[in-house]
Amino acid sequence: MSDHDTYQRLITLLDTTRTPYRLIDHEPDGTTDSVSALRGHPVSQAAKCIILRVKTDRKTTRHVLAVVPGDRRVDLDAVRTLFNARYVGFSDAATAERLAHAVPGTVLPFAFDPDLELVADPAVVARPQLYFNAARLDRSAAISGSDYARLAQPRIEPIAGPQPAETQEAAPA
């Protein structure tokens, strides 16, 4: 499946489910901080999508698509505990691209591959608007966090590291 096919699969999913969404064209960029600025929203409203390699024992390796708010990191220890794993680390680029059907920087917060398990932090699905690159470096999509949860059906678990200090003060109580 090519990047174009992945983009088309996303659009078809959004259209056939009559999910409200918005497409945003922008300069090509795959870095969460800079593409959030191009799209004109706080980094915390972006979906940061990271593919992880999770080894539960010496013979068993799983791949997990971890989705966290754009201003936070994936808490590898939380993922290790969640899966009762011996090791959790970032997947190599070739494996990530194969499983996501997209190049790095354009990974969708959807698992379209059966070998990829989707886990999203509760803060992601709580967003009124969630922004992510739409399997393309030059186009992004925005949907509500609740629509994202309904469509993607992620396992929802606290997997994000702590909020950065500068956003904690502004966070609602």
Rounded distance between C-alpha atoms, residue 158 and residue 144, angstroms:
19
**What strands lie across the sheet with 139-143, from one edge to the other?**
22-25, 139-143, 130-133
Q: What percent of the chain has pLDDT over 70?
A: 93
Rounded distance between C-alpha atoms, residue 8 and residue 10, angstroms:
5
* Residue 172 banded pLDDT, cuts 50, 70, 90: very low
Checking if the pLDDT of 71 tops 60, the result is: yes
Q: Return the higher-pLDDT residue of 10 and 169.
A: 10
> Backbone dihedral region of 111: left (phi > 0), alpha (psi from -120 to 50 degrees) or beta?
beta
- 62's tokens: 């799983």
pTM recorded for the entire structure? 0.91
Rounded distance between C-alpha atoms, residue 119 and residue 110, angstroms:
10
Domains within the chain, CATH numbers bracketed? 3-23+49-135+145-161 (3.90.960.10)
Q: What mean pLDDT, rounded, does the chain reach?
A: 93
